[in-house]
Structure 1
Amino acid sequence: MKTLITPLIALLLIACIENQTASHTDTAKVVIESFYQGDKATLKKHTTEETYANFMTIQDLYTEDGASNFSVLEETSDGNTAWVKFRTSYTDEPETFKLFKQDGKWKVAERDKGERAPF
């Protein structure tokens, strides 16, 4: 009986961890790191189809090794839409992502034409 309980507890813990929804800032970090490290599966999971396609057209130009040193400069969230302004070691200038919730998970999305970040 003891040998059966240990694997069941491990499975329960893994299931709980996987069901946690990442915050919009966590999602932005995952996207930037998966983009620069060439992790297409993770990138696709955390972006919209349009954003993923756009990233794929330029990804080979920007592949980097090493830590991203991702740091949030500003963030805002209003219901199902969020904005994250961040800095990484991969670029000289800060970047901004627009995110929205899709099926309860944050995804990086393209800005609407003429749309400006709130900061």
Structure 2
Amino acid sequence: MKRILSLAIFVIFMACAETEKSHTETAKIVVESFYEKDLPILEKYTTEESFQAFLSIQDMFTATETETSNFKVLQETEDGDIAWVKFTTAYEEQPETFKLIKENGRWKVTERGVREKGPF
């Protein structure tokens, strides 16, 4: 009986555990949470400096809840703990590019360096 109970608890724990998001999934989450003004989610998937940068410009955009993002990846690359994602959305006419880093096992959108150029 104890084994069955232990196994049931383990299965429940694994079902509730959050799965790790890919760098492209993370980029989509950040874009959508930015335009929907979902600050807890935005903060969870960005580094501290990126979160502050997003906050400083967020008031210039209106919140959207019904419009789909139409997030489409144009190019992506991953090299260890750094990834780049170039994408388009329904929110902007021009493609955007995010730099992501792996922080504590989770992908997060981060700021580019002052003279840093992306791979695309």
Aligned counterpart, 1:23? 22
- Report the Cα distance in structure 2 between the residues aligned to 1:12 and 1:90, rounded to whole angstroms: 36
- Report the Cα distance in structure 1 between the residues aligned to 2:93 and 2:102, rounded to whole angstroms: 29
- Report the Cα distance in structure 2 between the residues aligned to 1:31 and 1:102, rounded to whole angstroms: 15
Aligned counterpart, 1:35? 34
**Length-normalised TM-score, structure 2:** 0.87
Contact 1:64 1:90 in 2 (8 A): no
**Length-normalised TM-score, structure 1:** 0.88
Q: Runs of 4+ in structure 1 displaced over 3 angstroms?
A: 7-12
- Identity among equivalent positions (%) equals 50
Q: Which amino acid aligns with 1:114?
A: R
- Report the Cα distance in structure 2 between the residues aligned to 1:69 and 1:61, rounded to whole angstroms: 21
SS in 1 for 2:32: helix
Gaps of 5+ in 2: none
Structure with bigger helix share is 1
Instruction: State the aligned residue count.
Output: 114
Contact 1:31 1:46 in 2 (8 A): yes
Gaps of 5+ in 1: none
Contact 1:74 1:85 in 2 (8 A): yes
